[in-house]
Structure 1
């Protein structure tokens, strides 16, 4: 596949990726009173290189994700409904609403909170992307994009929001340290999608709404809250043969092929690095210095 063919979406898929594994993401409790449907990062699927966690979250105040640390990876928060306010010990604070995106590189260390910012139920997706060993201790960084600024394209009944990577001739400005594609597709009834995926990448689909057929026209329709791990090939084919719209995300990434040692919100390559991270966090050192005297405004107001 040439770059020009990819950008112009002229590439005809020769080896469609079939569904290799399928799971239904069932609700579970996380944070303080929050409910998530976890697909990656659960018992049956601990890791899908380079992806560590995928949560579809549902939060109603006063529930949420109060002050907690991260090291060694990136979090991508994509709001579907409502709004969430983020605060961290560097003084960064902001609110993302429906359709907005926050791509946070935790790197060497961050302590932050993510709490509901409006009435009712807040819904969204959070994806954790692993970082290569040489990037695990980079300085924290944010890329935040309002819904109106996310690139979109439409063709033959297929609409896409290009969060990362390229689709239908449209490219995202997001910089991904671990090469990643993140596409939000809506297929009208009767429409058909062909989306190239680099052959060496791992890729999955998570169905948000409706039901679709993936990989092979003769396969059974798959409904919302299912994650589909895709097998080998050069792209995804999907069909909406129902009478309602189909919405799903397609996410792909270049595998890192490195050891993964995880302790909750810390993800490193060796147990020694995890031990050091715990020591750093407990002693406010090596990136966690500002955690000593910091609490988020939401934590102070709700007395978590």
Structure 2
């Protein structure tokens, strides 16, 4: 007897609120994922940042990270400097690992929208050698089909595979559906997964539960080592949704400030290393630790 197909369904829908961000009154930050790592593993944080900076006074600055990966998808605008500028649709996965310093300074008028994820590393890779991977919008693998466009930034999804290398298996895809479009795609059943709608409305699963613009919907969890079906249908005006799906690591973490660790003592060591200048800046990484696709 064949195994019955697992059809993923929504089990938790939230509407995160925007708050003033750390870059000042022109910065609205929406905490999409935060403070529930036991259930969100391997996803630690997801922020949806809106910036409409009017003046030329610099904001932001250099800061360290260690013990995890930052995963950035720029939806609108530009961010960066002459050494590396991200434009709309670009993607970056920065493996902080054993420690890295990077600078996010904006010193001009700027309008942008950025999704930035903190992704947990497997315990065995917690202190891995840092690396940065940049995937340009023009080179993002795409799938087109009957009013559907899927851009695959990480992992394999809808028959397309991203060139980005993963420590933690993770699928990140931008799914855009025109009115009336519907799609069924395979997703590993053991992946913890959620959908975040950034435009329009999307209906999820056989029961067509509705997710509206600005809402996050978590899918049901499974432990079976099999494929599952993700069914998506567009709302009346179409919809655009970002899929995040990753393999839980099932190891507790300690989070403090810009660092993730396995034990509190490691956090103290990281702060000491940063104060003593032992954590290198991302601009100093050798070519073998920088990848552009």
Once the two structures are TM-superposed, the CA of residue 119 in structure 1 deviates from its matched residue by 4.0
Instruction: Note if contact 1:207-1:248 (Cα within 8 Å) is conserved in structure 2.
Output: yes
Q: In the aligned structure 2, how far is the partner of 1:182 from the partner of 1:13?
A: 26
Q: TM-score, normalised by structure 2?
A: 0.85
How many residues are paired up? 271
CA distance in 1, matches of 2:39, 2:34: 6
1:32 matches 2:53:
no
2:229 to 212, 215, 235: 235
Contact 1:47 1:53 in 2 (8 A): no
Mapped to 2, the partners of 1:81 and 1:257 lie a distance apart of 34
Distance, in Å, in 2 between the alignment partners of 1:213 and 1:226 is 12
What is the match of residue 300 of structure 1?
none
CA distance in 2 between partners of 1:24 and 1:66 (Å) = 30
Asked whether 1:260 is paired with 2:241, we answer no
Secondary structure of 1:177's match? coil
- What secondary structure, in the 3-state scheme, does the structure 1 residue paired with 2:40 have? coil
User: 8 Å contact 1:108–1:140 — kept in the other structure?
Assistant: yes
| Cα root mean square deviation, aligned | 2.4
Q: Give distance in 2, aligned partners of 1:144 and 1:253.
A: 20
Give, in whole Å, the separation in 1 of the partners of 2:262 and 2:172.
25
For 2:85 and 2:281, locate their aligned partners in 1 and report how far apart those are by CA, in whole Å: 22
Matched, 1:147 2:137: yes
* C-alpha separation in 1, matches of 2:37 and 2:211: 19
For 1:170-223, what per-residue CA distance to the aligned partner results, in whole angstroms no more than 9, with x for missing partners?
A: 21111111111001000111111212111111011010000111123343x221
Residue 208 (structure 2) pairs with residue 250 (structure 1): no
Structure 1 residue 22 displacement after superposition: 1.2
Instruction: Give the conservation status (yes or no) of the 8 Å contact 1:51–1:130.
Output: yes
Map Cα deviations across residues 21-54 of structure 1 (whole Å, 9 max, x no partner): 1111211233322321111114x66861001111
Q: 1:73 aligns with which of 68, 77, 87?
A: 68
2:170 and 2:245 in contact (8 A); partners too: yes
The 2-side partners of 1:28 and 1:209 are apart by: 20
The answer for the alignment partner of 1:201 in structure 2 is: 191
Counterpart position of 2:111 = 121
Distance in 2 separating the partners of 1:259 and 1:65: 30
| Deviation string, structure 1 residues 244-301 (Cα, Å, up to 9, x no partner) | 220001111111111110002100111121222222222333xx1669xx9xxxxxxx
Task: For 1:12-27, list aligned pairs within 5 A.
Answer: 14-27=5-18
Q: Determine the structure 2 residue equivalent to 1:301.
A: none
Structure 2 distance, partners of 1:64, 1:70, is 19
Shift of the 199–63 alpha-carbon distance from structure 1 to 2, 3 Å rule, reads: farther
SS in 1 for 2:240: strand
Whether the aligned pair in 1 keeps the contact of 2:200 and 2:235 (CA below 8 Å) is no
Do 1:13 and 1:194's aligned partners in 2 also have CA atoms closer than 8 Å? Answer: no
Query: How far apart, CA to CA, are the structure 1 residues paired with 2:230 and 2:107?
Result: 36
Alignment of 1:226 with 2:215, yes or no, is yes
Contact 1:32 1:66 in 2 (8 A): no
CA distance change for structure 1 residues 290 and 185 in 2, over 3 Å: closer, same or farther?
closer
Higher strand share: 2
CA contact (8 A) 1:107 1:140 kept: yes
Q: Which residue does 2:40 correspond to in 1?
A: 48
